[in-house]
């Protein structure tokens, strides 16, 4: 009979873990909401630049899912759980600007930008709040901010005059 091997663990300061979860959890919730709402927008876009906007929204949905996964995995790596079930996301992420049905591309793009802007408020709070607490978690927030701002720029370029 073999003995179970003990896996050494990295000691994580519970205060650091709690702070990281405090700042990154709203980011996860917002990004999970963007994943669902962005797909809703993808299915219902109409009008000018349909193909380009339709495909861009799929890319933004993919990015939002990846960003949410990165932030959630950081929380879990620090030893804390994250509740990102649909009910929790709906409660925590708040209202969305994305409508339920068909919408012209310009209006739908503005709605998705509004949702991204709401998430960026939480991301920027995480960047600022984690500066003195946990630089690795702050790096996660900075990378998410960079990616969201790039996706936002791509959307704005579709409606810029």
What is the pLDDT at residue 94? 78
Cβ-contact 37, 98 below 8 angstroms: yes
Residue with tokens 């702070």: 19
Q: What is the rounded CA–CA span in Å between residue 67 and residue 32?
A: 9
What is the pLDDT at residue 58? 97
User: Hey, what domains does the chain have and what are their CATH numbers?
Assistant: 14-159 (1.20.1260.10)
Q: What is the rounded CA–CA span in Å between residue 150 and residue 153?
A: 5
Residues of the chain with pLDDT under 50: none
Beta bridge partners of 103: 45
Task: For 43-89, write each residue's pLDDT tens digit.
Answer: 999 998 899 999 999 999 999 999 999 999 999 999 999 999 999 99
Q: What is the rounded CA–CA span in Å between residue 28 and residue 46?
A: 29
Cβ-contact 112, 60 below 8 angstroms: yes
What is the pLDDT at residue 29? 97
What is the pLDDT at residue 10? 62
């Amino acid at each position: 009979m073999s003995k179970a091997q003990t896996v050494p663990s990295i000691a994580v300061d519970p205060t650091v873990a709690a702070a990281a979860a405090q700042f990154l959890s709203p980011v996860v919730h917002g990004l999970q909401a963007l994943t669902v709402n962005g797909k809703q927008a993808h299915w219902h876009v109409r009008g000018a630049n349909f193909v380009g906007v339709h495909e861009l929204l799929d890319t933004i949905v993919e990015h939002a899912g990846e960003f949410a996964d990165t932030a959630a995995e950081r929380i879990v790596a620090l030893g804390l759980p994250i509740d990102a079930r649909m009910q929790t996301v709906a409660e925590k992420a708040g209202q969305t600007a994305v409508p339920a049905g068909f919408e012209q591309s310009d209006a739908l793009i503005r709605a998705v930008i509004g949702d991204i802007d709401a998430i960026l408020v939480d991301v920027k709070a995480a960047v600022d709040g984690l500066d003195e607490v946990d630089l690795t978690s702050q790096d996660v927030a900075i990378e998410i901010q960079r990616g969201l701002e790039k996706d936002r720029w791509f959307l704005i370029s579709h409606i810029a005059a």
